[in-house]
Amino acid sequence: MNKILISFSGGRTSAFMAKLIQEHPIYKDYQKLFVYANTGKEAEATLEFIDKCDKEFNLNLIWVEADVVHEKQKGTQYNITNFKDAKRKGEPFTEVVKKYGLPSKLYRHCTRELKEIPISKYARDILGKDYITAIGIRADEKHRLGNDPKKVYPLAELGIDEQIVRNFWDRQPFDLELKDYQGNCDLCFLKSVRKKLTIIKENPKTADWWLDLEVNNIEEGRPMLDVYRNLSMDDLINMAKNPFRKAIDQHELRQQQSNLFDIDLDLEFDCFCKMN
């Protein structure tokens, strides 16, 4: 039997892909394994969305968390958790930083240790070595496609782009209650400055955890999370206090524009002033 791992990130695209693989006849005879890796820094709305998708789409989703082994030359393991017991105060993330230091664009060990390793180790324990992994890259993201024969890209292959995904969720009885600029990991160093400033402006407390993480883990060569732009979390907090053009939800903007042009601009009604 063919075996497929579906790594569920918690976003709309990965949820769409999970439902597609669960229901598409192409994958009818596959042994499917749906796994979500919790970092402790996802928004509560993300966790609720994941739990809802699991129940509505019958995914039998497995929740894992990184179990960081601080002993030298011992790799990260995983723990099984669930929606109710999943860490919500950044605990797995903090443990990774304690061992490997602050992550950044140059040192992305947060993704490696918090997501990739726990998921792959669990998948190997369940599926063995012979399985493929479904990656949620859409047709509008083809520049991100790889050529690993053990990875498949169902959405890109079927021509599913961002608009199709968002239109799908607009028709569902539930959705991820986050703006598209908010994302799952709230102040990820890979986000644009504008997105991070907007998030801090809308909810200043979001920055507290990241500021503490940065201040308590400064090291030579990696004094901050955003070393690429040389901006500390304190810099971002101060920048957010000044006027700037906020990020907007692009899907909401498109909907507003669409609603405008759905109006019949030539429609008018008779009134007494037009009567001869």
- Dump pLDDT digits (tens) for 146-186: 899 999 999 999 999 999 999 999 999 999 999 988 888 88
Q: Helix (H, G, I), strand (E, B), or coil: what is residue 177?
A: coil
Looking at the fold, whether 159 and 208 belong to one and the same domain comes out as: no
172 torsion bin: left (phi>0), alpha (psi -120 to 50), beta (else): beta
- Token look-up 């995914």 returns 59
Looking at the fold, whether 25 and 141 belong to one and the same domain comes out as: yes
| Whether the predicted pLDDT of 131 surpasses 90 | yes
| Whether the predicted pLDDT of 265 surpasses 70 | no
Q: Helix (H, G, I), strand (E, B), or coil: what is residue 245?
A: coil
Looking at the fold, whether 101 and 235 belong to one and the same domain comes out as: no
Domain boundary among 135, 170, 205: 170
124-146 mean pLDDT: 94
| Whether the predicted pLDDT of 72 surpasses 50 | yes
Domain annotation covers residue 7 = yes
CA 84 from centroid of its chain's CA atoms: 20
| Whether the predicted pLDDT of 118 surpasses 80 | yes
The domain spanning residue 67 has which CATH number? 3.40.50.620
Q: Helix (H, G, I), strand (E, B), or coil: what is residue 50?
A: helix
What pTM was estimated for this model as a whole?
0.88
Looking at the fold, whether 52 and 163 belong to one and the same domain comes out as: yes
Range of the domain at 237: 193-246
Looking at the fold, whether 138 and 13 belong to one and the same domain comes out as: yes
Looking at the fold, whether 240 and 121 belong to one and the same domain comes out as: no
pLDDT at 252: 66
The count of structural domains within the chain is: 2
Looking at the fold, whether 101 and 224 belong to one and the same domain comes out as: no
**Can you read off the two tokens belonging to residue 274?**
């037009």
Domain annotation covers residue 181 = no
pLDDT at 78: 98
Domain annotation covers residue 178 = no
Domain annotation covers residue 37 = yes
Domain annotation covers residue 104 = yes
pLDDT at 184: 81
Looking at the fold, whether 136 and 36 belong to one and the same domain comes out as: yes
Is residue 19 a contact partner of residue 53, using CB atoms and an 8 Å limit?
A: yes
Is residue 49 a contact partner of residue 11, using CB atoms and an 8 Å limit?
A: no
Domain annotation covers residue 274 = no
Average pLDDT value over all residues in the chain: 90
Domain annotation covers residue 50 = yes
Domain annotation covers residue 154 = yes
104-131 mean pLDDT: 95
